[in-house]
Amino acid sequence: MSSYHSRTRRETRIIKKLVKLGADSPVCRYCGATDCRCLLALVETGDETAVCCRNCRAKRKIVSAKVLERKQKRFAEAGYPRPACVACNESDLRALEGDHLSGGANSLLIEPLCLNHHAIKSDEAEDHFPELRLRDPNRSALLKQAAFEIGLALVLLLMASLREEADSMGIFFGIVAVSLFGWAAWNVKADRYFADTLGIEYDRNIYAEVPS
């Protein structure tokens, strides 16, 4: 997908979201979040509509200790005994989700993301080979690797966006993210080449043992 088409698709999504929120510059009434991709319109008493981010809405809900305990256990089983959003370090279990790093269609590997950053990452993923988010039992190893690289790049961009503009770590995250996007694009192109040259099941015709 060209940068022009990606930009156009993104702008269309943003416009649709702003229309739903009923404001040009929506702000979460509780924490001041302004990224419309993580904002929701909450209908309150009367005709008034309030704007709230996903994190704040989750934190305002009453959740039983048993539900939180089960959620904590699932994160621990995934390798996160003390889960916190990998982007912003939010640790309130009510506002955390397990995000499939490569997309659920490609891998069960997850990392904790808060609801806000999960929504932003999912939106950003629409601009980078969105077809890789669709389930395909015959997806090649190269395309699965590309999906992983895109997912990791999106997380690094989230982390970079929370740093100061001239922060060296933020710049580093950004550079690595751009490199991963390039690597993913190369893998997609290589997959097409091998499929055209050797057949669509080229990666299933490797006779040497592949390390697991």
- Domains of the chain by residue range: 3-59, 65-204
Under 8 Å CB-to-CB from 156, ≥6 apart: which residues? 173, 174, 176, 177, 180
Q: Which residue has the tokens 């995000």?
A: 99
Q: Which amino acid appears at position 132 of this protein?
A: L
CB 88 within 8 A of CB 99: no
Q: Return per-residue pLDDT of the chain as tens, 212 residues.
A: 566 677 888 899 999 999 988 888 999 999 999 999 999 988 665 555 689 999 999 999 999 999 999 999 999 999 999 999 999 999 999 999 999 999 999 999 999 999 999 999 999 999 999 899 999 988 999 999 999 999 999 999 999 999 987 789 999 999 999 999 999 999 999 999 999 998 888 887 666 565 55
Residue 10 CA: distances (Å) to CA of 37, 190, 193: 11, 27, 29
Give pLDDT, residue 54.
97
| Long-range CB contacts for residues 104-107, cutoff 8 Å, separation at least 24 | 105/132, 105/133, 105/134, 105/135, 105/136, 105/139, 105/147, 106/132, 106/139, 106/143, 106/144, 106/147, 106/148, 107/144, 107/147, 107/148
Question: pTM, whole model, 2 decimals?
Answer: 0.89
Question: Distance of CA 195 to CAs 135, 160, 184, Å?
Answer: 19, 36, 16
Contact between residue 97 and residue 112 where contact means Cβ atoms under 8 Å apart: yes
Residue with tokens 């395309």: 143
Query: 121 is written with which tokens?
Result: 């990452």
The pLDDT of residue 206: 63
pLDDT of residue 207: 63
Q: Is there a contact between 142 and 149 (Cβ–Cβ < 8 Å)? A: no
